[in-house]
Amino acid sequence: MTSSIHPTVRLTKHQRLKGIWNKRTYSIVKLLGEGARGSIYLATVGQKQVALKISQDSSVIAAEVNVLKALKKVQGMPLGPLLLDVDDATINHSQKHAFYVMEFIDGVPLGDWIQSHGLSWLFPISSQLLTQLKQLHELGYIFGDLKPDNILIDKQTKRARLVDVGGVTQRGRAIREYTTWFDRGYWKMGDRRAEPQYDLFAYAVCMLSMDPHIKIHKPGQKDIIKLTQQATNLKPLHSVIYKALKGQYLSAHDMKKDIEQVNSRQARVQKQRSPKKRKNKRTPSPWPEVIGISSILSIHLVLFYFFIM
């Protein structure tokens, strides 16, 4: 029985880790992050880069491995990083620690990506994520700890990937791990029981936090609906965000459909408003740039139009 205060395991660059059971050797490159439940390192095995999670608390490793194994059963688009190895290693000739190895996702967290590439990326990213969430939910799991830091945009494929499965919870149980600002319980908008609406609430807050007017981490603000009104750059998405915050989307698919509808409506309007601009503009992504700073004006006009109706 351990009552360890800190589950982190310190490893140094070039340190080698040899698995006791599967005998594979990993070479540590650098620390990727340290959480409440362990540390993640970038490591190499042969020429291949991998992410290695190690913890003093072997039950953390066992629990996350169980989740990653369950997610592996889905065909097609991967949900979460692929699990590559599970083992124990003796560190510094003394302590034995459990670790697991997964695919390294060379990506940029959602917040950084949006900041450098523009809010319009929220459309393709949301579609991808909500598709993944839908699959996850259909498997009987809820992601739980959904937040911008756990959404990485792969630099190569430019597609969204979910990392950190520490919060993944079987549907109907109590959410295992969450982050205050993305938890509907904190905002008094619902309980902490794992159901699709829990993730969709968290994703709505993720979207909100992409608006530069929103400081989600400020303590004391308690009304998320009021807060949403300040997210003026996200105006076209407000109706979707409200619905998700209120738990009115029963499935990720419904939310995805609504977001796509907003996107195509915006695209249509933009087409009508600036036919010239459209001609010489060739966006590589199939999603038109709609809520970039340049088009804010047109969005306001559209909204005005809708309200008059």
Partner 1 sequence: MKAGTIRQILLITDGCSNQGEDPIQVSEMISQKGIAVNVIGVLDDDQTEEPVGLSEVNDIAKAGNGISRIVYADVLSETVQTVTRQAMTQTIQGFVSKELKEIFGKETDEEDLPPETRGEVQRVVEDLGESVDLQVLILVDTSASMQHKMEGVKDAIDDFILSLQARTGNHHYSIFQFPARNQIVKELLPWTNDGKRVAKVFPKLAAGGITPTGAALKQVVRSFQEVPALEEWREESDDIIDSSYGSSY
Ligand X SMILES: Nc1ncnc2c1ncn2[C@@H]1O[C@H](COP(=O)(O)OP(=O)(O)OP(=O)(O)O)[C@@H](O)[C@H]1O
Find which of ligand X, partner 1, none residue 81 binds, CB within 5 to 8 Å per kind. Answer: ligand X
**Residue 7 near ligand X by CB under 6 A:** no
Find which of ligand X, partner 1, none residue 51 binds, CB within 5 to 8 Å per kind. Answer: ligand X
The whole-angstrom separation of Cα 238 and Cα 223 is: 15
Residue 108's DSSP bridge partners are 153
Find which of partner 1, ligand X, none residue 164 binds, CB within 5 to 8 Å per kind. Answer: ligand X
Lookup result for tokens 């915050």:
245
Is 137 in contact with 199 (CB distance < 8 Å)? yes
The whole-angstrom separation of Cα 207 and Cα 82 is: 26
To the nearest 5 percent, what fractions of the chain are helix, strand and coil? 40, 20, 40
Work out which of 66, 157, 239, 272 binds partner 1, going by CB under 8 A: 66
Find which of ligand X, partner 1, none residue 77 binds, CB within 5 to 8 Å per kind. Answer: none
Give the interface size with partner 1 as a residue count (CB under 8 A): 30
Of 31-39, 125-133, 212-220, 226-234, which part binds ligand X (CB under 6 A)?
A: 31-39
Q: Which helix (H) or strand (E) holds 83?
A: strand 83-91
Is 85 marked active-site? no
Find which of ligand X, partner 1, none residue 58 binds, CB within 5 to 8 Å per kind. Answer: partner 1
Work out which of 164, 195, 258, 289 binds ligand X, going by CB under 6 A: 164
Q: For residue 214, what are the contacts with CB-CB under 8 A and spacing of at least 6?
A: 208, 227, 230, 231
Give, as ranges, the residues between 51 and 70 that touch ligand X (CB under 6 A). 51
Q: For residue 43, what are the contacts with CB-CB under 8 A and spacing of at least 6?
A: 17, 26, 27, 28, 29, 49, 50, 51, 52, 101
Give, as ranges, the residues between 60 and 119 that touch ligand X (CB under 6 A). 81, 102-105
Cβ proximity to partner 1: between 69 and 213 the closer is 69
**Residue 13 near partner 1 by CB under 8 A:** no
Work out which of 42, 63, 139, 296 binds partner 1, going by CB under 8 A: 63
Work out which of 11, 54, 86, 114 binds partner 1, going by CB under 8 A: 86
Compute how many other C-beta atoms are within 10 angstroms of the C-beta atom of residue 264. Answer: 13
Find which of ligand X, partner 1, none residue 40 binds, CB within 5 to 8 Å per kind. Answer: ligand X
The whole-angstrom separation of Cα 198 and Cα 73 is: 23
**Residue 48 near ligand X by CB under 6 A:** no
DSSP letter assigned to residue 193: B
Q: Which helix (H) or strand (E) holds 229?
A: helix 224-229
Burial classification of residue 130, based on how many CB atoms lie within 10 Å of its CB (0-12 exposed, 13-18 middle, 19 or more buried): buried
Chain positions contacting ligand X, by CB under 6 A: 32-33, 35-37, 40, 51, 81, 102-105, 149, 152, 163-164, 166
Active-site positions read 145
Chain positions contacting partner 1, by CB under 8 A: 1-3, 5, 21, 36, 58-59, 62-63, 65-66, 69, 86-88, 96, 98, 172-175, 180, 185-186, 191-194, 219
